[in-house]
């Protein structure tokens, strides 16, 4: 929650699909509504009536794009897939809104993608050299071109052929006139689950979307699994070379909704345990524990329970502010934080306060929040972070700043503490984070903390070294 108005790791995307339901498009709308936290820039739905695909998509939030009931008359059929997007590759423009829908020699197909293809530029250059013309700037379109140029006969084999060429993170939903296909990459970076609603199958990025439509949670789609749903039912395949799964640990830290069940665990319970572990590692004498809402709430509850320090809501969030708003003049730019968070002076005055947040990226917003709490009368402000320092960018579908902009990549704990003006600062250790998830859950991707990337990528990607001295002037103030 740290870089609210400036920049923090942004949500990737969310995907949702229904097959064999008379209200497929309406259910997909509801599913996207539940996944709105994974992307707020744009959204879209493609439906199939058994003979043709139909599409509606636009920039904006789900409720705005699909706010007119008449829209659903243009999305007929018993199958549909949908997508909410925050751009991790490709610019934020209408041509990049998903699902992508194309006609090619074997019919029509639509695709929705959550993740990031790390060798996308290499493949795109190769395809363009052979005459391919791209309509978007998204890595997702590469999959469509590879599919179209495959010499395989069946859709399953063509998809296997195409996806065997790409590297990185992907959860994919494909829709043709008669089939829906879900695929998760062999590393299983991003979550994807399977559900059932009567005689219909449902696929969603998170289980909270299944809950909204009263669908039964069947199981998580396994890393490297391809599921094909058609009139004959559901079939499961494992067509890719098996590797050790490396699901993204940051899904537990921030991205997934607390009520979701991902990677075998309930997110809320994991975050609360992160707070308990944080209290064991970084206890401090204080009067109250407060979260940075909303993402810091479960960890703050855990910290308060473990430490015995009372939990309070010292900061109140305005839930009716969108991702963007018109900035005031430079002289009052600090409203960028205050418009979203407001301190409760009666709670904070004369108190020693422990502030719980999930991460620090650049540190600029943390600095403003600490000063806001002090101005509200707090006697001491101790910052505790329920994850290790974020020192490396993510290349698997999370829009993190490059390394030179990450404060922990080039500054010590005390330098960061001085920059955000806190009395003390403590991060959850990597061992503590893993313990919070559970000892049996080994093999997570922790590249954003350690720089150990499980899928290698070409040097074409931005791998800037940290920029030393970026914050020194502010630290000295």
User: Which two three-digit tokens encode residue 406?
Assistant: 């990450």
The residue written with tokens 């650049």 in the block is: 362
User: Do the Cβ atoms of 98 and 59 come closer than 8 Å?
Assistant: no
Distance, CA of 30 to CA of 22 (rounded, Å): 14
Instruction: Judge whether 13 counts as a catalytic residue.
Output: yes
User: Do the Cβ atoms of 83 and 159 come closer than 8 Å?
Assistant: no
User: Do the Cβ atoms of 75 and 101 come closer than 8 Å?
Assistant: no
Distance, CA of 172 to CA of 113 (rounded, Å): 5
Alpha helices in 233-296 (DSSP H): 250, 267-281
Q: Buried (b) or exposed (e) across 63-88, using 16+ Cβ within 10 A?
A: eebbeeeeebeebbbbbbbbbbbbbb
Among 13, 43, 171, 208, which one carries the catalytic annotation?
Answer: 13
Radius of gyration of the chain (CA): 23
What's the number of CA atoms in the CB half-sphere (13 Å) around residue 60?
A: 9
193 labeled part of a ligand binding site: no
Instruction: State residue 73 phi and psi, 5-degree precision.
Output: -70, -25
105 labeled part of a ligand binding site: no
**Count of C-beta atoms within a 10 Å radius of residue 441:** 16
445 labeled part of a ligand binding site: yes
Distance, CA of 28 to CA of 337 (rounded, Å): 34
Please report, in range form, the residues annotated as the binding site for Mg(2+).
Answer: 295, 357-358
Please report, in range form, the residues annotated as the binding site.
Answer: 248, 295, 357-358, 394, 445, 448
Please report, in range form, the residues annotated as the binding site for [4Fe-4S] cluster.
Answer: 248, 394, 445, 448
Catalytic residue numbers read 13
């Amino acid at each position: 929650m740290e870089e609210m108005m400036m920049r923090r790791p942004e949500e990737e995307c969310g995907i949702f699909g229904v097959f064999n339901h008379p209200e497929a498009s309406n259910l997909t709308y509801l599913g996207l509504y539940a996944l709105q936290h994974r992307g707020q820039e744009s959204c879209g739905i493609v439906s199939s009536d058994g003979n043709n695909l139909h599409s509606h998509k636009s920039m904006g939030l789900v409720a705005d794009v699909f706010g007119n009931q008449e829209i659903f008359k243009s999305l007929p059929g018993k199958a549909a897939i949908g997508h909410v997007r925050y751009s991790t590759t490709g610019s934020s423009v209408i041509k990049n809104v998903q699902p992508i829908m194309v006609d090619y020699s074997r019919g029509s197909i639509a695709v929705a993608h959550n993740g990031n293809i790390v060798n996308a530029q290499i493949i795109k250059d190769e395809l363009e050299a052979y005459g391919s013309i791209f309509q978007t700037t998204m890595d997702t379109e590469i999959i469509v071109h590879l599919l179209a140029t495959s010499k395989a006969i069946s859709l399953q084999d063509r998809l296997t052929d195409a996806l065997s060429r790409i590297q990185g993170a992907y959860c994919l939903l494909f829709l043709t006139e008669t089939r829906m296909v879900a695929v998760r990459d062999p590393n299983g970076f991003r979550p994807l689950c399977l559900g059932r609603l009567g005689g219909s199958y449902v696929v969603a990025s998170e289980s909270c979307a299944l809950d909204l439509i009263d669908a039964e949670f069947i199981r998580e789609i396994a890393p490297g699994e391809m599921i094909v749903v058609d009139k004959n039912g559901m079939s499961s395949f494992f067509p890719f070379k098996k590797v050790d799964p490396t699901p993204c640990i940051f899904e537990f830290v921030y991205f997934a909704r607390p009520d979701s069940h991902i990677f075998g665990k309930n997110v809320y319970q994991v975050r609360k345990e992160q707070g308990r572990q944080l209290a064991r590692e970084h206890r401090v004498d204080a009067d109250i524990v407060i979260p940075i809402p909303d993402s810091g709430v479960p960890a703050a509850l855990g910290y308060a329970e473990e430490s015995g320090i009372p939990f309070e809501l010292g900061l109140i969030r305005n839930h009716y502010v969108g991702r963007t708003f018109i900035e005031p003049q430079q002289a009052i730019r600090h409203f960028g934080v205050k418009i979203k968070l407001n301190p409760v002076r009666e709670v904070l005055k004369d108190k020693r306060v422990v502030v719980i947040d999930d991460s620090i990226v650049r540190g600029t917003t943390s600095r403003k929040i600490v000063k806001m709490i002090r101005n509200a009368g707090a006697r001491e402000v101790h910052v505790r972070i329920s994850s290790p320092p974020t020192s490396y960018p993510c290349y698997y579908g999370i829009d993190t700043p490059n390394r030179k902009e990450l404060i922990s990549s080039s500054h010590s704990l005390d330098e960061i503490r001085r920059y955000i003006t806190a009395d003390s600062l403590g991060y959850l250790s990597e061992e503590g984070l893993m313990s919070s998830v559970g000892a049996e859950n080994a093999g997570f991707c922790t590249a954003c903390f350690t720089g150990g990337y499980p899928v290698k990528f070409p040097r074409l990607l931005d791998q800037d070294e940290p920029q030393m001295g970026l914050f020194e002037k502010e630290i000295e103030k």
